[in-house]
Structure 1
Amino acid sequence: MKAILQQIKEEVVAGFTACGYDEKYGMVSLSNRPDLCQFQCNGALAAAKEYKKAPIAIAGEVAEKLAANSMFSKCEACPPGFINMNLSDEFIAQFVSKMADDTERFGVDKVSSPKKVMIDYGGPNVAKPLHVGHLRSAIIGESIKRTARFMGDEVIGDVHLGDWGLQMGLIITELKLRKPELVYFDENYDGEYPTEPPFSITELEEIYPCASGKSKEDPAYKEAAMTATYELQHGRKGYQALLTHILNVSVTDLKRNYEKLDVDFDLWKGESDAQPYIPDMVQKMKDDGFAYISEGALVVDVKEDTDTKEVPPCMILKSDGASLYNTTDLATLVWRMKDYNPDSVIYVVDKRQELYFTQVFRCAKKTGIVPADKNLYFVGFGTMNGKDGKPFKTRQGGVMRLEYLLQEVEEKMLEKIKENGTMNDEEAAKTAQIVGLSAVKYGDLSNQASKDYIFDIDRFTSAEGNTGPYILYTIVRCKSILTKAGVSSFDGAILPAHSESERGLQLELTKFMAALASAYEEMAPHKICAYIYDLANAFNRFYHDTKILAEEDAAVKASYLKLLWLTRGVLEKAIDLLGFNAPERM
């Protein structure tokens, strides 16, 4: 189903060409003055220079040609050369009726050329609990993934675990101090290693910060950890068996926490999965003349003539031959291209990593790891801050665990739900969990990803204003009316609007396709949020102005209910793409 702007544009283009003007001037946009008109075309202003005519004269000719079109209720030229247009109520009603008849997609077509896309998001480190710093990557990436799938792409989400490097050596070193009798530390042991891990997730999460703290104060301890890291990376069997245990215990816990966020990954690959590809990748970079030694390290130049600021070389190996994050990320691209051959790879990462990813992307393209016809995208996000404007912390000043944040929001919602006194404890707890997640996700996603934002638990959990609970409250209101009406099927058409508020609601519904297309193309979930907030406002104006269930005309009442059903469907589809859902009541 063609988006409404596309349909209007086709008619306006036909108007320009019928009057002898180039079709390129028939561009249409939503009006920035909705008090004057719904849509506008400014093409006559640009055409004036080419055709040496006053723009108002060109606009007048085209407007006169379009005025007879039944699509429009108004089409007029306004100084200095705008064409202002309103759609007819009949056309709008026909459009939203077609949307309602498409009960799965509400008129949204899949892209004509679907792509295979990999999204790298999440990025947790094993042996560490998820904290609030992991929130944005997880929920922004999840929404981008869901939206791309809905639009028809084949999408593979990869958590990309931090499971390599010094942190593993630190854990092994501390574990050796605590439990030296374990067979993993006996270099002469050649039997089967135990299948049960020698630690719980609680112990593991305590071991790492303890080891990290010791390494900062004790050079000998740090040296031991570096040696353990080197031995792990060079195949020591006991240490690799320990790594398997660390991964299994940690990933089980990570999956539990991501499940609470309603975030799901297709792949649970980590930095360690890229290690086998590093030797051949490095050798090829050398053989092809891209990599060279600089101050003892192996590097690849990635600066370009058009750079306005310094872009340092991409370091591939340190002077001691050790690999870096750059090495691992490049090797990860090697296996992604080899095993999946995606058309594009999207990285959802802290925006402060932009220079780093510029180096990695350029190196990957320059060395042929990623072919020229493949795309690499960096979606950088800002920080989540407390009310003091600084990165969000606990009251004690530490980094808050993500599960504690979710629990705090749930408890806040539960308080509000219990104040209403309409639910038993079990239903209230379940509803608080659903609405609390909407508060967290919508509170984050409604901001442009690249911007920092203030996490305000009181504002985010409010049922008023631009919040997740307000969107859910609107959906629940729709459900409640439909339940009271006792109608489950909607065969008739939606009738032309009977009031200004109904016209506003119908018109807002027509924008759904454009909102999703924009969010998809720009990898911008905040555009979905902006759309559904406008739609919820339009619906609530209609609801307050209209006696829906008391309407005596059966055809009009049926039209109202179908309009309600469509509104609920569009809102529910949109919040699913954002990564949350609505309860039955609130």
Structure 2
Amino acid sequence: MNKFIKQLSHIFEDTFEQCGYDRSYGTVTVSNRPDLCQFQCNGALPAAKKFKQSPIEIANKVLEALKDNPIFKSITTAGPGFINIILEDEYLVNYINELSKENKYGCADLLEPKTIMVDYGGANVAKPLHVGHLRSAIIGESIKRISRFLGHNVIGDVHLGDWGLQMGMVVSEVKRRQPDLPYFDENYTGEYPTKAPFTINELEEIYPAASGLAKTDPAAMEEARKATAELQKGRKGYMALWKHILDVSVADLRTNYGNLNVEFDLWKGESDCQQHIDYIVDYLKENNYTTESDGALIVEVAEETDTYNVPPFIVLKSDGASLYSTTDLTTIWERVKDYNPDRIIYVVDKRQQLHFEQVFRCAKKSKIANDDLSLEFLGFGTMNGKDGKPFKTREGGVMRLQDLIQIIKDNVRDKLRDNSGFTPEETEEIARKVGLSALKYGDLSNQVTKDYVFDIDRFSSFEGNTGPYILYTVVRIKSILRKANEEGLSASKIIGAYSDTERDLLLTISKFNEVIEGSYLDKAPNRICEYVYELSNLFNKFYHETKILSEENIGKKSSWIGLITLTKDILETCLDLLGIETPERM
């Protein structure tokens, strides 16, 4: 189903062509003066330069060709040659009724779906999720859902930090605390325990202790480096202990990501590509992509057209050790081999842009990524406190994500206490959904690349551009529909626009497919947030102006029930694309 604005553009493109002008001048846009018209076409102005005619002459010629078209209530010229358009309600209503029958409300079926991998999450094992992990998780989840909704084959990968020095630190700290465990006995030949020697709470205390000690004690750092090297060489006891670290951490991460309504298709990590690093290093050497610089093995990735300094890609350090860059390059190779994606989107802190620029250039230069594979960096800004600095606890530490979720949930629960009629269980479930809507909508409503201020009172408000306000709108519609159902009323086709507000509501609904496809192309969930806020405002205005259930005209009432049902369905679809659940009552 074509987008509504596209259908109008086709009519004007055909008409411009019939009048002897290029089709490209027939583009129609939403009016920037809604007090004057609904849509406008400004193509007569640029056409005047090419065809040596005045813009108003061209505009009038187009209007003359369209004067008998029944879809236009009013079509006039303004200024030097603008064409102002107001549609007949019947044309708009017919489009909305057709849209309501579509499986995806007018979003076109794809002729060539893409295989898209979204790399988001990026949590480190043995560490709790903190507020710094929030944006990657919820932005990536939304990008995945939007892409999948449009019909693409989408694979979400958490890409855990589960390798490197941090693992050596944990292993050496466990050894200091429990030296008699069999993992540290090189002569041990039996089966290692199936139960981990630590809980998640203990594990999350072990790493910061190990890291703090290593920073102040050179001997501890050397011990961690040695443990890392032995782990990476495959020492059996250390590998068994590492497996415990991974299992305990991933179980906890699954719970915490699940609490955010974030789901991954792959739970891979840096360790998964380690077996291929030697192959990639040899490949780069044998194909003459590498050179040596101060003992390190590098690939030059700077280009003559660069307007900024792009350092070389380091494959191996002077001591022969690989880096995160080597791991990221090898991961691209592995993804190409296993999934043959058309696009790989990395949802990462924007401060890592240069790193990924080096990785992408090396992948393309070395043919690890072919020309058809799109490697895309989506860098997000920082979530800040009201002081403008990265959000922290009152004590100045980095806040755990589960604590942040609990804080906003408690804030919402306090506001719900004024509502009677809910059981404690219902209140808890509503607080969970509304709290998450406040947190996720508060984040996603911002442009991805921008920093923003986390304001718990504003985000959890039931008024204004907030998640709770959007949810309350959906719940209000559900309440009306329940009452209509009790009266034996059902939705029918929409039969007209009986007020300016209803007409505006219909026009906004008609933009759904345009908004979703635009959000996909721009990787911009905030566009969906803007849309649901506009739609919610218009519905609430319509609700206050219209006595839906007390209307005596059954045809009109059924039409309205059909309209608000469609409004609810589109709002819930949009919220689901943002990873937000809706309650039945609030």
What CA distance in whole angstroms lies between the structure 1 residues aligned with 2:71 and 2:282? Answer: 64
1:306 partner amino acid: T
Change in Cα spacing, 1:106 to 1:304, as seen in structure 2 (3 Å) is same
* Deviation sequence 1:107-127 (CA, Å, 0-9, x none): 222333210011000000000
The 5-angstrom pairing of residues 455-466 of structure 1 reads 455-466=454-465
* Deviation sequence 1:88-139 (CA, Å, 0-9, x none): 111111111112223x422222333210011000000000000000000000
The 5-angstrom pairing of residues 72-221 of structure 1 reads 72-102=72-102, 104-221=103-220
| Aligned twin of 1:297 | 296
With 250-259 and 188-197 compared, the bigger mean Cα shift is at 188-197
1:71 Cα deviation (Å)? Answer: 1.9
* Deviation sequence 1:158-186 (CA, Å, 0-9, x none): 00000111100100111111111111111
What secondary structure, in the 3-state scheme, does the structure 2 residue paired with 1:430 have? helix
| Aligned twin of 1:569 | 569
- Residues 110 and 150 in structure 1, CA contact (< 8 A), matched pair in contact too: no
The 5-angstrom pairing of residues 275-354 of structure 1 reads 275-354=274-353
With 188-197 and 441-450 compared, the bigger mean Cα shift is at 188-197
| Aligned twin of 1:560 | 560
1:489 Cα deviation (Å)? Answer: 8.2
* Deviation sequence 1:506-548 (CA, Å, 0-9, x none): 1110000100010111111001111111111111111111111
| Aligned twin of 1:271 | 270
| Aligned twin of 1:359 | 358
- Residues 167 and 242 in structure 2, CA contact (< 8 A), matched pair in contact too: yes
What CA distance in whole angstroms lies between the structure 2 residues aligned with 1:135 and 1:287? Answer: 41
What CA distance in whole angstroms lies between the structure 2 residues aligned with 1:489 and 1:336? Answer: 53
What secondary structure, in the 3-state scheme, does the structure 2 residue paired with 1:380 have? strand
Unpaired runs of 5+ residues, structure 1, are none
1:491 Cα deviation (Å)? Answer: 6.3
| Aligned twin of 2:398 | 399
1:510 partner amino acid: S
1:189 Cα deviation (Å)? Answer: 2.0
What secondary structure, in the 3-state scheme, does the structure 1 residue paired with 2:539 have? helix
What CA distance in whole angstroms lies between the structure 2 residues aligned with 1:280 and 1:346? Answer: 25
What secondary structure, in the 3-state scheme, does the structure 2 residue paired with 1:156 have? strand
1:33 Cα deviation (Å)? Answer: 1.5
1:375 Cα deviation (Å)? Answer: 0.6
* Deviation sequence 1:430-489 (CA, Å, 0-9, x none): 100010010001000000100000110000011111000111011011111111111788
| Identity score, percent | 58
2:291 partner amino acid: Y
What CA distance in whole angstroms lies between the structure 2 residues aligned with 1:492 and 1:445? Answer: 34
With 425-434 and 136-145 compared, the bigger mean Cα shift is at 425-434
- Residues 64 and 76 in structure 1, CA contact (< 8 A), matched pair in contact too: no
| Aligned twin of 1:470 | 469
- Residues 464 and 470 in structure 1, CA contact (< 8 A), matched pair in contact too: yes
2:522 partner amino acid: E
- Residues 484 and 490 in structure 2, CA contact (< 8 A), matched pair in contact too: no
- Residues 491 and 558 in structure 2, CA contact (< 8 A), matched pair in contact too: no
Aligned length: 585
What CA distance in whole angstroms lies between the structure 1 residues aligned with 2:189 and 2:398? Answer: 42
What CA distance in whole angstroms lies between the structure 2 residues aligned with 1:197 and 1:392? Answer: 33
Runs of 4+ in 1 over 4 A off after TM superposition: 487-491
What secondary structure, in the 3-state scheme, does the structure 2 residue paired with 1:572 have? helix
| Aligned twin of 1:581 | 581
- Residues 16 and 23 in structure 1, CA contact (< 8 A), matched pair in contact too: yes
Name the TM-score, length of structure 1 as normaliser: 0.98
What secondary structure, in the 3-state scheme, does the structure 1 residue paired with 2:329 have? helix
What secondary structure, in the 3-state scheme, does the structure 1 residue paired with 2:418 have? helix
* Deviation sequence 1:55-112 (CA, Å, 0-9, x none): 111111112222322222121111222111122111111111112223x422222333
With 79-88 and 367-376 compared, the bigger mean Cα shift is at 79-88
* Deviation sequence 1:344-379 (CA, Å, 0-9, x none): 101000011111110000001111111111111111
Name the TM-score, length of structure 2 as normaliser: 0.98
- Residues 262 and 579 in structure 1, CA contact (< 8 A), matched pair in contact too: yes
2:337 partner amino acid: K
